[in-house]
Amino acid sequence: MQDPPNPNKNPNPKTNPTPETQNFPHGQGQPFSIRSSCHRRAHSEVHFRLPEDLDLVPDPFEGPSGSSFDELGSEDDLFCTYMDIEKLGSRPDEDPSSLKPDNAVHGSSGGGCGVDLEGEKNVRPRHRYSNSVDGSSIMESIEAKKAMAPDKLAELWTLDPKRAKRIIANRQSAARSKERKARYISELERKVQTLQTEATTLSAQLTLFQRDTTGLSTENTELKLRLHAMEQQAQLRDALNEALKKEVERLKIATGEMMTPKDTYNLGMHHVPYTQSSYFQPQSQPRQVNTQNMQMPQFHLFQSNMPIPHQPMGAASHSHAFQEMLPQDPLGRLQGLDIGSSLCFLHSAPDSHVELHSQEQEVVIALGSNVGDRLSNFNHALQLMKKSGITIIRHGCLYETAPAYVTDQPHFLNSAVRAVTKFGPHELLGVLKKIEKDMGRTDGIRYGPRPIDLDILFYGKFRINSDTLTVPRENMGETICNGPIDGFTGIRC
Ligand X SMILES: Nc1ncnc2c1ncn2[C@@H]1O[C@H](COP(=O)(O)OP(=O)(O)OP(=O)(O)O)[C@@H](O)[C@H]1O
Ligand Y SMILES: Nc1nc2c(c(=O)[nH]1)N=C(CO)CN2
Q: Which residues bind ligand X (CB under 6 A)?
A: 429, 446-447, 453, 455-456, 468-471, 473, 475
Catalytic residue among 77, 84, 338, 453: 453
Q: Sign (positive/negative) of CA torsion 462, 463, 466, 472?
A: positive
**Closer Cβ to ligand X, 187 or 478, answer by number:** 478
Cβ-based burial of 449 (10 A; exposed 0-12, middle 13-18, buried ≥19): middle
**Closer Cβ to ligand Y, 322 or 447, answer by number:** 447
What letters, b where the CB count within 10 A reaches 16 and e where it falls short, cover 79-117? ebbbbbbebbeeeeebebeebebeebbebbbeebebbbb
Question: Does residue number 447 form part of the binding site for ligand Y (CB under 6 A)?
Answer: yes
Among 96, 368, 472, 487, binds ligand Y (CB under 6 A): 368
User: Which residue, 394, 365, 363, 367, is CA-closest to 379?
Assistant: 367
Cis peptide before 403 (omega within 30 of 0): no
Least distance (Å) between residue 298 CB and ligand X: 28
**Closer Cβ to ligand X, 88 or 366, answer by number:** 366
Least distance (Å) between residue 433 CB and ligand X: 7
- Which residues, in sequence order, are bridge partners of residue 400? 413
Question: Does residue number 405 form part of the binding site for ligand Y (CB under 6 A)?
Answer: yes
Q: Is 55 a catalytic residue?
A: no
* Residue 471 near which of ligand X, ligand Y, none (CB within 5-8 Å, type-dependent): ligand X
| Side-chain-facing half-sphere of 149: CA atoms under 13 Å | 8
Of residues 127-166, those binding ligand Y (CB under 6 A) = none
Question: Does residue number 403 form part of the binding site for ligand Y (CB under 6 A)?
Answer: yes
Q: In this chain, which stretch among 20-28, 176-184, 288-296, 406-414 interacts with ligand Y, using CB under 6 A?
A: 406-414
**Closer Cβ to ligand Y, 67 or 479, answer by number:** 479
Q: Is 176 a catalytic residue?
A: no
**Closer Cβ to ligand Y, 279 or 412, answer by number:** 412
Least distance (Å) between residue 227 CB and ligand X: 54
**Closer Cβ to ligand X, 189 or 427, answer by number:** 427
User: Which residue, 315, 343, 299, 314, is CA-closest to 487?
Assistant: 299
Q: How crowded is residue 172: how many other Cβ atoms within 10 Å of its Cβ?
A: 25
Amino acid at 468: T
**Closer Cβ to ligand X, 191 or 463, answer by number:** 463
Catalytic residue among 91, 124, 183, 441: 441
Catalytic residue among 77, 338, 455, 486: 455
Q: Is 450 a catalytic residue?
A: yes
Question: Does residue number 377 form part of the binding site for ligand Y (CB under 6 A)?
Answer: no
Least distance (Å) between residue 386 CB and ligand X: 19
Q: Is 453 a catalytic residue?
A: yes
Q: In this chain, which stretch among 85-93, 177-185, 395-403, 421-429 interacts with ligand Y, using CB under 6 A?
A: 395-403
Question: Does residue number 308 form part of the binding site for ligand Y (CB under 6 A)?
Answer: yes
395 and 466 in contact (C-beta within 8 Å)? no
Among 149, 334, 356, 404, binds ligand Y (CB under 6 A): 404
Size of the site for ligand Y (CB under 6 A): 13
Give the per-residue contact string, 23-42, with ligand Y (x = CB under 6 A; - = no).
Answer: --------------------
138 and 77 in contact (C-beta within 8 Å)? no
Least distance (Å) between residue 312 CB and ligand Y: 14
252 and 336 in contact (C-beta within 8 Å)? no
* Residue 135 near which of ligand X, ligand Y, none (CB within 5-8 Å, type-dependent): none
Least distance (Å) between residue 467 CB and ligand X: 8
Catalytically annotated residues:
441, 450, 453, 455
Interacting residue ranges for ligand Y, rule: CB under 6 A: 308, 368, 401-406, 412, 414, 447, 453, 479
